[in-house]
Amino acid sequence: MDRFESLGENGLTGRELRHQGLLEYVEIDQVKAINDRDKYHTIGTSALMECAGVLLVDSGRRVAGVTHVSFDFARRNWVDKLENKTMDLVKKANSKGGRQYHLRWYNVTTGRRDYAFTREITQRAQKVSEQLKNSRKISQVEYLLEEGFAYDLNDGLLPYY
C-alpha cells in the first residue's frame, strides 16, 4: 500500500467508492475529467488487462482526468488511438481548469498482450510524454502496473481493488 497516498478520508478503495456511487467511473474508450466543482471528487477506471489507462493530475488546480484506452490489435492504427485519447484527455482536463500535469501511464509497459504490441505501446507513450513535456503540459511522468486505479482530489491516489 506504500505507493498509494492514502485510502482516503473514508477508508474506501476505488471499487468500494464506485459501488456506493461516489466515483466518476471511466468506461472503455471514454475520456473524463473532474475538478472540485463537480459532483464527484474521485475518478478512476478498472479492468485494464490488455488496455491502457492514463491519469492526469493538476493538484494545484484540483483537476484530474482519466482515459481507458482499448486496443484492436487487428488494426494497425491502434497506437494512434493511445496518442489521440491522451491528447483528448489533456484538452478535457484543460477545460476543467488544469494547466500542468503529473502524467501516470497504467499498464503501458506490460499487460495481457503480445510483447511486440507492448513495445509499440510503450514507445508511443514515451513519444507522447516527450511532446507534452516539450509543450510544458506535464512536469512529471510515471509508468505503473495496475489493472485499476482511482484518484481523489482531496486524498490523492487510491487503490482500486
79, exposed or middle or buried, with CB in 10 Å at 0-12, 13-18, 19+?
A: middle
Position 122: which residue type? T
Cβ proximity of 84 and 127 under 8 Å:
no
Long-range pairs for 112-119: beta carbons < 8 A, 24 or more residues apart? 112/49, 112/50, 113/50, 113/71, 113/73, 114/73, 117/71, 117/73
Q: Is the pLDDT of residue 2 over 60?
A: no
Q: State the average pLDDT for the chain.
A: 90
Query: Distance between CA atoms of 4 and 8, rounded to whole angstroms?
Result: 10
> What are the tens digits of pLDDT across the range 99-140?
999 999 999 998 788 888 899 999 999 999 999 999 999 999
pTM of the model: 0.91
Residue 4 has what pLDDT? Answer: 45
> What are the tens digits of pLDDT across the range 77-93?
778 999 999 999 999 99
Domain 14-159 has CATH 3.30.1330.200: yes
Position 128: which residue type? V
> How confident is the model over 39-66, as a mean pLDDT?
95
